[in-house]
Structures are given as C-alpha cells and as structure tokens.
Amino acid sequence: MTTLNGEYREELDKRIRRLVDVFSYLPGIIIYTSCGGHEEKNHQSQCNTDEFNVGFFVFVKKEGLSSLRLINRAAKLVDRNNIIIIPQNSDNSTNNLYIYAIYGFNGVSPDDFAYELEKCIKSYFQVTNINDLERHFYSSTRDDIDPSVEDSK
C-alpha cells in the first residue's frame, strides 16, 4: 500500500500505477491509498498478488458523483463480478465527502480497468487525449483533506 503525490509516483506498486494515474484525471476524486498486490503481505491493508485496491474520496460539490459514475461504468465493463466498489462511510451531511474503495479480485487486471476508465473519461469530457484534462493531486492521508478548502476552489 502506498500513498503519494505526483512526485512520489515511483513508490506506487508497479501493478497499480496506470490505474492511479488515470484516477488523477477525475474531478472531485482524490486517492488516499492503493495496493497492487504483494506476494508477502507486511501489512493488513495489503492485498494478494491477484488482487488490487484503491481507496478514494469523492467530493460531492466538485463533480465527484459524475466521476464516481464513470468509475462504476468502467468497472462493470471490465468485470462486473470481480471489481467491486464499496462505500466506506454512509453519512456525508457534515462535510460533503464520501469515502470509497475499489477492490479487484481473481486476477482482474488494474491495467484493463485503467484502459476502460480512460475511455469513459475521454468520452464524457469529449477529449481525444486524456492529457488535455487537468490532473488532480493525491493525498497522503485522510487527515490532509479539508472539504471546506476543497469546496471553496
């Protein structure tokens, strides 16, 4: 499991890098953790070699719900049985923030998911190159997120 900002990309598990990169183009979405799988798990948050996970914040007032729909669509297109999206909180009334995690199982490829997600993003924003879109930055911890600051931008 690794968290990062743009300059620490190399610390990401190699298997999950492309997916995390594609996530960074989704407005209202900020990743706080990810794991590409490990042969030897050294922490309870690490997943097995044929699994992956991404934990992320969804900001309601920053187009986050539209981005969440794109994530859901891409997951269903890749493997609706082995990619699941689970809410981590159920009440956003105080901070306009949802917390989600995506889990991939049974060898489903995070690169395949990244490919479909990128296609969904390009179609939704009507761009031919994803690099034409603004990137959003990663957070190192949940504590780094201040929804009042994010909402005021």
In tens, the pLDDT along 62-103 reads: 688 999 999 999 999 999 999 999 998 866 555 778 899 999
Task: Look at residue 80 and tell me if it is in a domain.
Answer: yes
Report field, pTM of the whole predicted structure over 0.85: no
- Per-residue model confidence (pLDDT) at position 5: 45
Burial 19-39 (b: 16+ CB within 10 A, else e): bbbbbbbbebbbbbbbbbbbe
Give the domain range for residue 48: 6-140
Domains in the chain, number: 1
Q: Would you say residue 40 has pLDDT above 80?
A: yes
Strand partners for 31: 56
- Per-residue model confidence (pLDDT) at position 14: 86
Task: Look at residue 126 and tell me if it is in a domain.
Answer: yes
Task: Look at residue 72 and tell me if it is in a domain.
Answer: yes
pLDDT band with cut points at 50, 70 and 90 for residue 140: very low
Task: Look at residue 1 and tell me if it is in a domain.
Answer: no
Task: Look at residue 128 and tell me if it is in a domain.
Answer: yes
Task: Look at residue 150 and tell me if it is in a domain.
Answer: no
